[in-house]
Chain A
Amino acid sequence: MSRTDVSIKTHKKSSLNEKTKEAISGYLYVSPFFILFAIFGLFPILFSFYLGFQKWNGLGEMEYVGLQNFKWVLTDEIFWTSLTNTLIMWVLGTLPQLLIGIILAYALNSALIRMKSFFRVSIFMPYVTSTVAVAIVFGIMFNSQEFGLFNVIFGLFGVDPISWGTSWWGVKVAISTMVFWRWVGYNTIIYLAGLQAIPNELYEAAQIDGATIRQKIQYITIPMLRPIIILTVFTSTIGALQLFTEPLIYIGRTYREEGITVVLYLYREAFSNLAFGPASAAAIILFIIIIIISSINVLIANRIGR
């Protein structure tokens, strides 16, 4: 974040009056977010935080219980299972998205191909496909029985049917595949917008200097794309740690241990067990974990291409 700030400061040559005007404009332009957030976002967050210290079933009276909810969550094996699951599915489902997303965007951006629009639209389609359809389709593909699509394919190579719906790795692989499938196009489109903004002159100049494709990627593409890469790493990390829709689609309301994520865990506590206190405590703990991991992530991503 700091690079542009510095450049603005050094380029400052206007009067104090100009500076004040700029500051006023700045506050004015960012204010809608904060006003809307104050109305619609702040109260729910404070409410969740407050609930973390209460016992509440959603309908009756609240009762202050101190740190009891946090103790319950932190000593609950299933909570830790859900955290492990979330992290594993992050590695399996989300990290590959970013890599494949860049590769696909690069391919779509290259002058080699025709029918760009067709490919672009197709690759983005999973983001558009409704979850009802995704649930049914993936249910058929990852069917645990012998006739399940993936089991048929693996069967050709002599692999025994895998129980995608119940085994420790089966569930995770199935959910991660769904996550990967649903979001890779989304990331591709974002990278593509970044790639297309890189001026051709840079590549042409490099071409003249006899740079290889690898060198062009390393010294032009990656540095120019850095702000976008930071963005995707940051948002996809948060998305992965808040993974909810895909496991809910795949394991449904059985909340199976093999596939339960942290958000699914807190959702179960709140809306199925009516234990809003522990649910809020879990939300707060997750929030802290996300802050820590995102900070580390941004630090690492900041180094890319430097």
Chain B
Amino acid sequence: MKKWLMLVVFSSLVFALVACSDDNESAGSDDGGGNDSGGDGETVSLDFWIFGSTGYGELVDEYMEEHPNVEITINEGEMEDMHNNLFTSISAGSGAPDIAQIEISAIKKFLDAQDQFYNLNDYGAEDVAGNFLDWKWAQAQNVDGSFQIGLPTDIGPTTMFYRTDVMEEAGLPTDREELAEEIDTWDSYYEAAKTVKAETGKPMADAPQLVFNALRDQQDQQYFNEDDELIIEDTVKEAYDYTTKMIQEDLIGQNELWTPEWGNAMADGSYATMPGAPGWMVANVKGNAPDAGGNWDIANIPEGAGNWGGSFLTVPAESEYPQEAFDFIAWLTAPEQQLRSFEIAGLFPSTPDVYENEEFLATTDEYFNGAPTAQIFAEAAQSVKTVYMGINYATVDTELNTALINVAVEGADPQEEWDAAVERINSQLERQ
């Protein structure tokens, strides 16, 4: 008999402990189930998944004050985690929120499963389409534009950060406009790189990927055409050749993005330019090089800008309140609110209206020698091209980057590395 007693006592102990921890959650999940009817006057509760520092908390509070019947619960996490959780929820058919933020790198994957999301065109997305930059709007659309998965939030138009001290040492212009005139094509970028190398011994850029990306983003077509055929041979091979040629001539370093040495190089001025740097890179540079203020400045990229990063707000098909969710995200992504989140958290607006706002344009940054950052990024935003990315964009990008790093670090033959990368890409693509 005693053993049964032990088992009972033990299991009740375990479950008592578990039950204790339960109390916190039950409140939240209860009101989720309590309003199935969702009629007028009843409280509509919306789960809202976000990542990064969006500063949306403040705006959500404001919205709830104006709409007392709407209750929005923010759930914030790391970007990759939030994407994975959304994927798992949709895959298992349960647990997705009413509104999910999705980054550009993942949007095509989810767009491929469009029956799992509401088509925002059915809820009035077409009426607000004019608010946004065309290329950004198109990123969250299927090929024929009939399905709109999300409304645009922020964008990452790219510019070229440069070290004024290195430029000065190399005898090149340090003023941002003069420099942009001096380096207005990739040919002149190459010439300037040779000058920098000769005068200072330093490379023009430290990360091969950044140079390659900057060139790639100026193409109308990049890795895939709209039939999802791999077309890199005709589109980005030239950018690859340009980059590897500079690597071989020691004009570009060998750093990989996000490594400590990449961060450190921002502080010690061991290279001249960082092409393809978007607005959020400002905080990165400041974080890694807090004492380098005044040594950095911002100019345009030769031959036009690209885009790096930015997100969308989507409404998964599980939501019971698609209209209310849409109304909220339409408000949140409207120009006035985008300007607010720029002010609060530095999210760069995707609504061109804001670019004419004088207060916005007057934003300058002391760290970058008082550069009118908002104005420079806004200009860049308007020259970004509309590109079809396709769901396998990241796979191709990973392999091409591996090839570039092999050329830079191992001194491998560029053509052989290219061929090997193409082979790896093809073997992965044929599985799908």
Contact = CB atoms under 8 A, between A and B. Distances in A.
Asked if the two chains touch in their complex, CB atoms less than 8 Å apart, one says yes
Interface of A: 57-60, 72, 76-78, 136, 139-140, 143-145, 147, 163, 165-167, 253-257, 269, 271-275, 277-278
A165 B258 CA distance: 14
Interface string B389-432: 00110110010011001100110000000000000100110111
A177 B201 CA distance: 36
Nearest to A73: B431
Given A254-B398, A255-B398, 5 more contacts: A57-B113, A58-B87, A72-B430, A77-B427, A145-B261
A81 B381 CA distance: 43
Contacts of B409: 144, 163, 165-166
Contact of A273 (B84, B113, B116, B392): B392
Instruction: Give the interface size bracket for B toward A.
Output: 20 to 34
Contacts of A257: 424
B261 A166 contact: no
Given A58-B91, A59-B113, A60-B113, A278 B261 contact: no
Contact of B84 (A147, A269, A271): A271
The interface residues of chain B, by DSSP majority, are classed as helix
Contacts of B410: 163, 166-167
A254 B401 contact: yes
Given A165-B409, A255-B398, A273 B432 contact: yes
B431 A139 contact: no
Nearest to B115: A60
B116 A78 contact: no
Interface of B: 84, 87, 90-91, 109-110, 112-113, 116, 254, 256, 259-261, 391-392, 394-395, 398, 401-402, 405-406, 409-410, 424, 427-428, 430-432
Contacts of A76: 427
Contacts of A271: 84
6 contacts: A57-B432, A72-B430, A139-B260, A145-B261, A274-B432, A275-B431
Contacts of B113: 57, 59-60
B260 A136 contact: yes
B116 A254 contact: no
A78 B427 contact: yes
Contact of A78 (B91, B110, B402, B424): B424
Nearest to B256: A165
Given A139-B260, A273-B431, A166 B406 contact: yes
B260 A59 contact: no
A256 B431 contact: no
Contacts of A167: 410
B432 A72 contact: no
Contact of B87 (A59, A77, A163, A269): A59
A59 B90 contact: yes
Given A58-B87, A166-B406, A273 B112 contact: no
